[in-house]
Amino acid sequence: MSADRALRDPLDESTRGQIEAALAAHQGRPGPLLQVLHEVQNRLGYVPPAAIPIIAEALNLSRADVHGVVTFYHHFRQAPGGRHVIQLCQAEACRSMHCEQLTEHVQRKLGVELHGTTSDGRYTLEPVYCLGNCACSPAVMIDGELHGRVTPDSFDALIAPLS
Amino acid sequence: MNIKVYVPRDATALSLGAGRVAAAIEREAQSRGLQVQLVRNGSRGLFWLEPLVEVATAEGRHAYGPVTVQDIPSLFDAGFIEGKAHPLHLGLTEEIKELKSQQRLTFARVGIIDPVSVDDYVAHDGYAGLKRALTMSPGEIVDAVTQSGLRGRGGAAFPTGIKWKTVLDQPPQQKYVTCNADEGDSGTFADRMLMEGDPLMLIEGMTIAGIAVGATQGYIYLRAEYPHAHRALNEAIAVARASGYLGSNVLGSGKQFELEVRLGAGAYICGEETSMLESLEGKRGEVRVRPPLPAIKGLFGRPTIVNNVISLASVPVILAKGADFYKDFGTGKSRGTIPLQLAGNIKHGGLIERAFGLTLRELIYDYGVGSASGRPIRAVQVGGPLGAYIPASQFDTAIDYEALSAIGALLGHGGVVAFDDTVDMAGMARYAMEFCAKESCGKCTPCRIGSTRGVELMDRVLANVDRDRNLQLVEELCDTMLHGSLCGLGGMTPFPVQSALKYFPEDFRKTVQ
């Protein structure tokens, strides 16, 4: 029921404008849906549920098609994330360097679990399965910037300057 | 005097501070009134030395590393821009032991050139393969690739030339060349390094593929976790197009080839070729039933080449130097070279390109110098999350497709992840099932349901609930997944589980506190 309400929620002018700009950038190319969703998320920080019918209509797809794609991929967020997105690698190479301990530390330090956003809206914490930095594990990405051989102390130093 | 100083733009180098080092060098040079030309190259792949700073001198390039921002004033004081001595001085880069002993064909230019300069690329033998291909018939190009013995480097090791021949044999219509750059296997980074360090080589390989099979459009399917590679590829495509190497009239040949990068969205399954095609079409990355093969009905239902980054990047040298040159490297049915990626709990991790046939022990101890923790290495996982765990007793196995397959392992994309003796192999077996459950596309039951049941069974084993019966069930479940899954995700998740059970049974029988 709440999802249904979200779909009917009117979007403000500027949000709608961003969605339309995202569509304009990729519409007309073959199979553009994934690229449109990337563009929407780049512009808004997430893919609002109310964007789905607009995208569906513009690309001549059903709402179910678009919803299905948004929910299939881990990368797309359906609610706004924090001001900073922190991705902690959980894959084998990082496990060989005990990334579970780093993850514990980060969760405790920020007071939020993986997949969660801190209550002040500052950080979103996400698991990620390989950042391709496997010879310098554990790897962490903060707002698109990659860091290697991260320790609890070096993690604290990395987030200290973030507001 | 204009001195060339090289500081990598490679993601691993940046993750260790290469960006700050580059900025500090520029600042320091300016304050000393020195003319320094900063080149942002790829990485040489010696990651324990990153950030590795190089300076060009008359006798060759001198290397310094690992460099931090604090080292910059003393490097200038010591005269590093003339290749002079300093505690971080490593001598001539080409003479570094771990680099000198490699056989770099695919990574010949990575770390050496400016990745987004066509002039630099051409000055280092770039585009020789394409120029040669433009003088050949499509059939001759495909034959050269077949003759070279090149097998798909993404993991499946299928002969590349045979794929190309199938696409070539389809009647003329819109055909596609797609590059699988969804390098999701933990412990692998060869695709990333190549795309960041020598993207024009991939572009050249795809262009040759397009001309060989009559495809005018190429797509690179790149994982979203690689923003640095994304930038490098887009810059390289733009300069290639501006210089006439891409577009409606490639090098004035009248042949057309266009290229576009499309981003994935964090789904491991999209590294499976049919799932990747679905995703490229903008759909859920659900695996397709084969047949039809992608070479016959692939992207948008058209004949499509699907090759890994390293496979496509191996093509230019095969065309430029001939199939025999490439084939002379390697052993048995594993021809050419393989870029190995040494990762995990390892002292000297990085990229090692060698002819097939090096042993795991040579890789781990001669190149890797043992574990990062200093403890004994207990196991390595070869070939990503779907690869088997190999115990120390089998480290004398040669790294080639047949030798690994003989011990129930697989080479995959060439990633080798080391674990020391603190690893809990039962935990790793549980993780393999958990990863499969997270990443399953959901299309087939053995993978979708089997992986979830696998996690539950492993939890009972770990908690010592009816342990023998549940271990028996794990074995039976592995058998079902192996034989009943639609693709390699469900079909190969049993490999790490079964190998952990076989070689490390004691980890599954620990007493529960």
Average pLDDT over residues A93-122: 97
- Terminal CA-CA length for chain B: 70
In this complex, is the C-beta atom of A133 within 8 Å of any C-beta atom belonging to chain B?
Answer: yes
Q: What does the radius of gyration of chain A's CA atoms come to, in whole angstroms?
A: 18
Alpha carbon distance B413, B426 (integer Å): 24
Contacts of B306 (CB under 8 A, 6+ apart): B163, B178, B180, B273, B276, B277, B294, B298
CA–chain centroid gap for B24, Å, is: 31
Alpha carbon distance B434, B437 (integer Å): 5
pLDDT at A4 over 80: no
H or E element: which one contains B483?
Answer: helix B467-484
Q: Among all residues of chain A, which has the CA nearest to that of B440?
A: A72
The count of residues in chain B is 513
- Terminal CA-CA length for chain A: 36
User: What is the per-residue burial (b if ≥16 Cβ within 10 Å, else e) of B209-231?
Assistant: bbbbbbbbbbbbbbbbbbbbbbb
Per-residue tokens: B85: 């001595």
Contact list in B for residue A101 (CB cut-off 8 A) is none
pTM recorded for the entire structure: 0.96
Residue A96, pLDDT score: 98
User: How many degrees, rounded to 5, is the angle at CA B403 between CA B401 and CA B405?
Assistant: 65
Q: Which of A136, A141, A149 to mutate to test the interface with B (most CBs of B within 10 A)?
A: A136
Q: Among all residues of chain A, which has the CA nearest to that of B264?
A: A34
Averaged pLDDT of chain B = 97
| Percent of chain B predicted with pLDDT > 90 | 98
Q: Which residue has the higher pLDDT, A7 or B351?
A: B351
Contact list in A for residue B232 (CB cut-off 8 A) is none
Residue A163, pLDDT score: 83
Answer yes or no: do B300 and A144 touch at CB < 8 A.
Answer: no
Locate all alpha helices (DSSP H) within chain A, ordered by sequence.
Answer: 2-8, 13-26, 33-44, 51-59, 63-72, 92-95, 99-110, 152-159
Answer yes or no: do B189 and A94 touch at CB < 8 A.
Answer: no
In what side-by-side order are the strands of the sheet with B415-420?
B350-355, B337-344, B415-420, B377-382, B389-391
pLDDT at B250 over 80: yes
pLDDT at B510 over 90: no
CB B442 within 8 A of CB B286: yes
Average pLDDT over residues B1-14: 94
pLDDT at A58 over 60: yes
Per-residue tokens: A22: 């995202």
Alpha carbon distance B312, B319 (integer Å): 12
Residue A1, pLDDT score: 42
pLDDT at B513 over 70: no
Average pLDDT over residues B433-460: 97
Q: What is the pLDDT of residues B290-315, one digit of tens each?
A: 999 999 999 999 999 999 999 999 99
Contact list in A for residue B426 (CB cut-off 8 A) is none
In this complex, is the C-beta atom of A58 within 8 Å of any C-beta atom belonging to chain B?
Answer: no
Q: What is the DSSP letter of B282?
A: T
pLDDT at B373 over 60: yes
Average pLDDT over residues B94-105: 97
In this complex, is the C-beta atom of A75 within 8 Å of any C-beta atom belonging to chain B?
Answer: yes
Average pLDDT over residues B116-141: 98
Answer yes or no: do B344 and A93 touch at CB < 8 A.
Answer: yes
SS3 B364: helix
Q: How many CB atoms lie within 10 A of CB B398?
A: 17
Residue B512, pLDDT score: 73
Residue B331, pLDDT score: 86
Averaged pLDDT of chain A = 94
ipTM of the complex: 0.95
Strand B53-57 with B60-64, pairing: antiparallel
Alpha carbon distance B118, B115 (integer Å): 8
Task: Transcribe B402-419 into DSSP letters.
Answer: HHHHHTT---TTSEEEEE
Q: Among all residues of chain A, which has the CA nearest to that of B348?
A: A135
Per-residue pLDDT band at B1 (split at 50, 70, 90):
low
Task: Transcribe B5-27 into DSSP letters.
Answer: EE----HHHHHTTHHHHHHHHHH
Contacts of B148 (CB under 8 A, 6+ apart): B161, B314, B318, B323, B326, B327, B335, B336
Per-residue pLDDT band at A49 (split at 50, 70, 90):
very high
